[in-house]
Amino acid sequence: MVQIALEINLEYDVQHADGADFVFNIHPAVTAHQSVDDENLHISQPVVPQIAVEPSTGSRFMRLHANAGPLVVSYSATVTIDHHLAEPDTLEEVPVRCLPLEVMPYVYPSRYCESDRLLKLAFSEFGGLWPGYSRVLAIQHWVQRRVTFASNTSTSTTSALDTVLDQVGVCRDFTHLMIALCRALNIPARMATGTDYGAPESLGPPDFHAYVEAYLGDRWYLFDPSGTGIPMGFVRIGTGRDAADVAYATIFGAVQSKAPLVRATASTAAGFTLPRHCREALSTVAASPVSSSGCAQFDGATAFTGTSARQLPN
C-alpha cells in the first residue's frame, strides 16, 4: 500500500472583461484501489465550482467561470493506493468477442492515436510475438528505444504518427504511440494521467504525467512508455482515449497561463511502502467481467494475426 501527498497549484491571468470558463481535471479519481482523503480546494476568486464524476472511470471534472484578473487554483489531498498485483505471465490478451462492451471504445483509433494507420508497422514488429503481457511490454520497450524524451519538442497537435516520424517527444507522445500500436493489434489501450513521481530532476521540475493502461485478462494494467517515473507512485487523475479526453485544464476565453506547480510526496509512515519499480503487473481499477459470447473457443496461447477493417459512412 502506497500513500501520496499531492499538491497542485495553477495560476492564470484572465484577460477579457467578460471572464473565461475553465474545466479542470486535477482531482484524483476514486477507484476500487485508490482512495482520496483530506482533500482541500482553494480558488482565489469568489466563484462556486461545479464538480462531476465520470462513472466508468471515476475521473472528476471541475467547471467554473472566472472573472477578469488573476486566478489561482490550489488543490491538495492525501491519496492511498492499494495496488492489485498480478504475475505478468498469467495475463492474456482478450479477443474482441470477449471484451466487456465498455472496453470497446479503447480498441478504435482516436484523435491522437491513429492505430488504423499503424497496422503494418504493428504487425511487422509485434504480430509474431506471444500474445499477452509480454507483447505489450515489448511494445513499451520498442517505443522507449525509438523515441527520445526531450521537453518542448511537440505541440498540442502532435499525434502517434508524428512521433513515429519525429522520434522525439514528451510523455504524452510516448503514450499516444504505445496506445496506437496496442490498438493496431486489437489490444485495448487508453491514456491515464497523474503526476511524474520518481522522475529525475534532470527532466525539470515535477509535472503532470501521462501513461498507458492496457486491458489484459480482466482489468487494466499500468505501463509507463516514457520510462521517466515509478508507476507504483502514479496517482490516477484522468482516464480517456487520448490527451483530448484528459487535459488537466481546458480553457474557453482569453487567458495567460503559468507553468503548473505539482508535488507528489510518498509517505514513509508505518504500513506504507515507498514506491519502487517491481516485476509484477500493477492495476488500480476493479476487474471487469468478460463477455460470455463465444469465449469458450478462445485459446490464449494462439496469437491473433488478423487485422481490422472499418466501414465508414460516405
pLDDT at 22: 98
- Domain ranges, ordered by start, for the chain: 2-80, 84-245+275-292
Backbone dihedral region for residue 119 (phi beyond 0: left; psi -120 to 50: alpha; all else: beta): alpha
Residue 3 and residue 197 in contact, taking contact as beta carbons nearer than 8 Å: no
pLDDT at 289: 74
Tell me the one-letter amino acid at 301.
Answer: A
Q: What's the CATH number for 2-80?
A: 2.60.40.2250
pLDDT at 303: 42
Q: What's the CATH number for 84-245+275-292?
A: 3.10.620.30
- Residue bearing cell 460470455: 292
Residue 283 and residue 33 in contact, taking contact as beta carbons nearer than 8 Å: yes
Residue 193 and residue 209 in contact, taking contact as beta carbons nearer than 8 Å: yes
Write out the chain's pLDDT in tens, 314 residues: 999 999 999 999 999 999 999 999 999 999 999 999 999 999 999 999 999 999 989 999 999 999 999 999 999 999 999 999 999 999 999 999 999 999 999 999 999 999 999 999 999 999 999 999 999 999 999 999 999 999 989 999 999 999 999 999 999 999 999 999 999 999 999 999 999 999 998 888 899 999 999 999 999 999 999 999 999 999 999 999 999 999 999 999 999 999 999 999 999 999 999 999 999 999 999 998 776 655 744 444 334 444 555 433 44
- Residue bearing cell 483530506: 38
Dihedral sign (CA 105, 139, 311, 172): positive
3-class SS of residue 127: coil
**C-alpha torsion angle, residues 189, 190, 194, 199 (rounded to 10):** 40
Q: Please give the Cα distance from 229 to 267 (Å, whole number).
A: 17
What is the value of pTM for the model shown?
Answer: 0.93
| Phi, then psi, of 56 in degrees rounded to 5 | -75, -25
Beta strands 261-266 and 2-14 are antiparallel
